[in-house]
Amino acid sequence: MEGVLTPRDELARSLSPLVAVAASQDAEELCQSNHIPSFADFMKPFGDHIEGRVSPRDWQGIPIAIDNFNVRFRPLEKLGEPNHLAVMSVVDDYVRSRHPQHYHEIKSQADVNDTYLDTSLDKSMPWYVDFRRMMLSLRGMTEHETFDHPVAIMIVISSTNPDPMGTINQLYNPNIPSFTVDRPYVDPNILRYYVLLHDPHRASETQAQETYQKMRKTLGLHCHLLRINSKARPPETAHLLDDDVPSAELDAEPAIRALWQQQLAESYTIESRMQSYAVGATRTSGNPTTASGISNHSSSSGGGGHTRSSSVSSTTSSHSTSVATPLSTTTTSTTAPLALGNTSLESEQKQQEELQQKHEPIVDETESAAITTQYGRYMTEEDVTACRGMTREFVIQSMIPFMERNIQHWNEQVASARRGLTGRLFGASRRLFGSTTRTQSTHSLQTIPATGPNVPAGVNQVTIYPYSAPEAQMRKLADYAFMIRDFKFAHTIYDTVRRDYATDKAYKYHAGTQEMIGICLLMMNQPLRSKTDVDRNFELAVQQYLGRCRSPFQATRTTIMYYELLKAHRMWKEVPTALVRMTGEDSDLRSALFLEQAAHCFLRTPKPMVRKYAFHVVMAAHRYGKALQREHALRCYQLASLIFEDHTWSIAQSHIQFALGRQSFHLGQLEEAVSYFANVLADSKQTPQQQAAHVREFMFIYRQYTNMSGIDPLEESLPNLGLPVINDQQVSVSLSNAQINNTDNQEEWASMERELLEQNIAKGFIFGSKKTLALQQQHDNRVVCAIGEPTVVHIEVSNPLQIAIQLNNIILGCEYRESMKPFKEKRDAEAEAYDTMVHGTLTEGSDDMYSFDQYELQQLNEITLDPKEKRLINLAIIPRKEGSILVKGVHYTLNGLVHRFHPIIKKGKRLNDTPEHKRSVVYGLDHTLDILVTSPMPLLDLQFHNVPETILSGEVVQTVLEINNKGNKGLTSLRLKSSHPSFICIGNPEEMDKQIYAGGNDTKQEQFTLDNKLYDPSVVSVPLPKKEGGNDIGVVNSGQTTLVPLWIRGDRIGKHSFKFLFSYQSEEDDAAIAHRTMRYTLNVQVLPSLKINAFTRPSAATINEYILGIEIENLQTVAGFQLTQLNAASPTWSIVPLSIQMESKQDIEAKTSVPPRQTTFAYYKISKLLEEKELTKPIELNITKLVFVSH
């Protein structure tokens, strides 16, 4: 039983000796009776593993023990190179048919665990194993190496042949070129081994022995009599050759059938598909150079009536189609991996359909047929043992001694001369005087016409070394040494002949030796002296194959072998560099396979490189997509998305989501495609053209998805649609009388509401049961709405794109309940996102309000959001029944096609009550979207009149506060809390016409009584008209209006936002609420005016008198000020001017006029009144009024 092979062993087996097979027609028929197409196919299982140890001798005669030696059997007529385009097409089919059952999900370094590392890459990615096997096995004779030149030929006839010797001469004759491999670089003088096939049911033992003895006498000892088909058969079927004999005795034994079953099934699939693709490529290209189909892979070159049989049945695939192979540039988008392409999905869909017609998938038809086919049905265990014995005898007694003799001969005759002093001097003379002394080299090199299916365009000739040239013999010597595993000696010869190839500019030969030098260094059981030298050898080989030779197929094979050896040495850091070299634009499939392997190698370095892994997986997915390998592209993008989803690399995330959407669409996974496209729609970092393409393709996919699913796109909601962007935390609900711009500074408003409520309770405005109700109302923070009152929901929508989008049929999604208690259940946004569109009845007399059972909702038919636009949408609700209405979200339709319900779930305050709350981030429930609907209530509506935008510092202006009751009940207990109490003063309605400043032209003294009690000036009662009936309670009846004077004084310089918080109650008690509140904001700017400095000192003339000095500076740069009056208020003191002559008009004007940026100064005398008064409550003040009026 064959053990587990190392990559080193597998590579050596792929470059094992090749044995050509030339079999007569009667010999092939004996194999075909076992359902085996040819003798070469018959021998392949026995050549794959030679039983026992094989010990060839190196050039010094030292045995080399090999436990897994093998030989490759191939029909003589199929030694030529296969069509590389056809090979890659077959690879494409195999890769397409392979899908992983399970793959590791890598998100971070922690996921690169032992489970992942213990799973081999071959097991994780079997499609790459198929690719590697095809590239290493589907090869043929080339001029620059001899691994696929036959070391020996096995000439096979049957014991029933009437003319054995004549047939043998016609099967292979080195003296007649047409009966050999007629190539000038292939040596026809190879070991000939003769096999006589004997079927005891067709010929007698005596006849077989006579023929065999004749062969040994004529042809020598390299002959063998092989008995097959010894299984007993019923007499009536003993000589039947057809396959339809219904006899259980003709069934093959399972162990024997298994020898050929898998190999022949795959061989038939590959051969038939290669023929089909090669013919299709030939018809498409019309290039006469490729008219040979698969080169000599399927041609016959027999003579004298004997035709060499094909290794496959004559029934080939009937499909002869043209295909865009991965080896050539594909027709899909060639954009860079991180540039989101704009290729139309419709065109890609057509391309996908054409591909499916051209490429038949690798299905289980051939495998199922192989299972039922009775391979080896006439074979017995003794026959199988005889075949193994013959193969071992051929290898040990004939082929290996032949190779050893040739190695010794070429080493003595050619290599030693090259390595000696004469050879070194000759090489030096060639390099120095190459133009005149290259006689040997000139005779060695030949130019022959370029033929075959793999000739690059424009190439008509190819330079070769004939097989008898010293350079060709040196290469063959090194290859033979490699085949018997003498890697050190092979390395020496390769290095020697490399210099000759470089001197002769034989680039393909030179690339081949560079490749083998690197392989030998990695195959030898000794430490590497320099990793750089090895990589340099392979790099030069790949560069020359790609550049000078224009042979990407050879470069690909070189990279595969290098990669396998690097894996064996666990040189994971060096692997990606080698693989990325072969990721050019000539083959997307090959590039994708190598990039995916490179990605996983980054994870197997000592410190896993997860980001490099993700980057290379994305590039592999991109190339898989270009190669139309949709499922592999989808898989790679999914692997990459796991890493990028938790990072802020938005461009990479968008690319991956977009690509996932496209690949899912092409694979018919429309629901997944819609989901992926929905995630990428809101990407704001792409160009307008890319964004337009995203939206267009999303609409196209969604239309197909809804048609296929049979759903109405205008009714069913699409979750996770990212357009437009809605910030749930910014959604607010207000009554129709509220200012729209009061959504900022919520904490300040909440603090003012708490303080106002405390003051109202303290002053007795809220008492009894209303107190508890008001506190609960304050805690719940719910909007209170009466039946019939419009309530407005404010939703800010933003368009993050650089293109316009359209929203249609915008309407709220609400839920009514009879309970007036707050909604305390936890909501599920994912479940609610599937809510269907709501439909109501158009309200009579309205064009946008729709009636439902318990409320009316406003619907906006259409709005257009310009690029980067933010817009506040206001949607009204009119309750029709007491209870609660929860605003769950908003319905809308994007671009007239995609309906979406966006659930709105706001977070409440962050909880900080318990240790658990403090250790984690926990939010309470938010009730601002849960509207409380009560019976009819008063509704306060305010307007401020005559409010200036700017006032001067110290200036007092009178405004008018208009109070309207738009509710259905009387409004009472109107209280006001202001944020700037020093700026505000409210008067009684009867003071509407009162002058701001007390006028008059005479200086005089007045008496003023002032209440001297302490109170909070920020909270005041607003006087309302007294209700008829005699009580003192002010009431504003439903539908009525009252005016109240309000003075604003510029107390401090700057821009001020006055916040007014009003609370009021209904004249009738309501069991649901205690009071209502209203917020209002005014913006006023206070400008600088005067700067006043004052001082006092005792008078030197009189007791109880003081001198007052006042300095007044005008801070204005343009305007001047005129002092008209000075008032002094005191219960015991009065004031008179000293420096101003009140009788002189000129003096008054000079000392009371303050020009811009100027200062004036005046002195006054403060005197004590003659009558001493006791201070009382309320206090009586003496007002001294000085009027500066020029007479």
Give how far the C-alpha of residue 300 lies from the chain's centroid of Cα atoms, to the nearest Å.
52
Average pLDDT across the chain, whole number: 83
pLDDT at 350: 59
pLDDT at 4: 66
Strands (E), 392-470: 446-449, 461-464
CA–CA gap between residue 25 and residue 631 (Å, rounded): 45
* Residue 50 · residue 66 · CB < 8 Å: no
Q: What percentage of the chain exceeds 70 in pLDDT?
A: 84
CA–CA gap between residue 528 and residue 663 (Å, rounded): 44
Residues in the chain: 1191
Quick one: pLDDT band at residue 537, thresholds 50, 70, 90? very high
State the distance between the two ends of the chain, measured CA to CA, in whole angstroms: 133
Whether the per-residue pLDDT at 64 is higher than 70: the answer is: yes
CA–CA gap between residue 1134 and residue 782 (Å, rounded): 56
Average pLDDT over residues 144-159: 95
Q: What is the 3-state secondary structure (H, E, C) of 502-562?
A: HHHCCHHHHHHHHHHHHHHHHHCCCCCCCHHHHHHHHHHHHHHHHCCCCCHHHHHHHHHHH
Range with lowest mean pLDDT among 8-22, 242-256, 297-311, 568-582: 297-311
* Residue 1187 · residue 1124 · CB < 8 Å: yes
State the sign of the Cα–Cα–Cα–Cα dihedral 1163, 1169, 1172, 1173: negative
In tens, the pLDDT along 1096-1109 reads: 888 888 888 888 89
Range with lowest mean pLDDT among 63-67, 463-467, 536-540, 1141-1145: 1141-1145
CA–CA gap between residue 859 and residue 861 (Å, rounded): 6
CA–CA gap between residue 20 and residue 756 (Å, rounded): 104
Strands (E), 161-203: 191-198
Structural domain boundaries in the chain:
17-81+139-314+368-389, 420-451+461-571, 725-736+789-934, 940-997+1013-1087, 1090-1187
Q: Nearest Cα to 285, choosing from 138, 450, 451, 457?
A: 457
Q: What percentage of the chain exceeds 90 in pLDDT?
A: 41
Please check whether the two domains, 940-997+1013-1087 and 1090-1187, share a CATH topology: yes
CA–CA gap between residue 1095 and residue 166 (Å, rounded): 143
* Residue 33 · residue 378 · CB < 8 Å: yes
Maximum separation of any 2 CA atoms in the chain, in Å = 167
In tens, the pLDDT along 808-817 reads: 999 999 999 9
- Tell me which amino acid residue 1028 is: E
pLDDT at 884: 92
pLDDT at 1183: 80
CA–CA gap between residue 1080 and residue 1072 (Å, rounded): 24
CA–CA gap between residue 372 and residue 265 (Å, rounded): 11
Tokens of 164: 């054995």
Assigned CATH topology for domain 725-736+789-934: Immunoglobulin-like (2.60.40)
pLDDT at 89: 92
Helix, strand, or coil here: 870? Answer: strand
Assigned CATH topology for domain 940-997+1013-1087: Immunoglobulin-like (2.60.40)
Q: Cα dist. 829→382, 711, 730, 817, 826 in Å?
A: 74, 22, 17, 19, 10
Whether the per-residue pLDDT at 801 is higher than 50: the answer is: yes
Quick one: pLDDT band at residue 95, thresholds 50, 70, 90? very high
pLDDT at 190: 93
Find where tokens 């296969």 sit. Answer: 82
pLDDT at 317: 34
Tokens of 279: 């013919």
CATH code for the part of the protein at 1090-1187: 2.60.40
What are the φ and ψ backbone dihedral angles of 898, each rounded to 5 degrees?
-105, 110
CA–CA gap between residue 136 and residue 759 (Å, rounded): 91
Q: Which residues contact 845 (CB under 8 A, 6 or more apart)?
A: none
Q: Cα dist. 194→153, 220, 1042, 1130 in Å?
A: 8, 9, 125, 141
Strand-pair category, 784-786 with 930-934: parallel
Helix, strand, or coil here: 1136? Answer: strand
Find where tokens 């110290």 sit. Answer: 954
Average pLDDT over residues 132-151: 93
* Residue 463 · residue 288 · CB < 8 Å: no
Tokens of 671: 């629901």
In tens, the pLDDT along 698-756 reads: 999 999 999 998 999 999 999 888 889 999 988 988 888 777 666 667 788 878 888 88
Strand-pair category, 956-965 with 923-925: unpaired
In tens, the pLDDT along 1039-1064 reads: 889 999 999 998 889 999 888 889 88
CB atoms within 10 A of CB 120: 10
CB atoms within 10 A of CB 330: 20
CA–CA gap between residue 752 and residue 979 (Å, rounded): 8
CA–CA gap between residue 720 and residue 703 (Å, rounded): 17
* Residue 661 · residue 680 · CB < 8 Å: yes
pLDDT at 208: 93
DSSP class of 175: T
CA–CA gap between residue 31 and residue 241 (Å, rounded): 11
Rg of the chain over Cα atoms, rounded to whole angstroms, equals 50
Exposure string over 997-1026, b if 16+ CB within 10 A, otherwise e: eeeeeebeeeeeeeeeeeeeebbbebbbee
Strands (E), 705-758: 725-726, 732-735
Quick one: pLDDT band at residue 1030, thresholds 50, 70, 90? low
DSSP class of 768: T
In tens, the pLDDT along 312-333 reads: 333 333 333 333 333 333 333 4
pLDDT at 249: 46
CA–CA gap between residue 313 and residue 306 (Å, rounded): 17
* Residue 796 · residue 871 · CB < 8 Å: yes
What are the φ and ψ backbone dihedral angles of 1005, each rounded to 5 degrees?
-120, 140
CA–CA gap between residue 1117 and residue 1158 (Å, rounded): 9
Q: Which residues contact 194 (CB under 8 A, 6 or more apart)?
A: 154, 155, 156, 157, 168, 215, 219, 222, 223, 224
Range with lowest mean pLDDT among 474-483, 496-505, 544-553, 1021-1030: 1021-1030
Residue 474: how many CA atoms within 13 Å on its side-chain side? 26
Average pLDDT over residues 958-963: 91
H or E element that contains 1125: strand 1125-1130
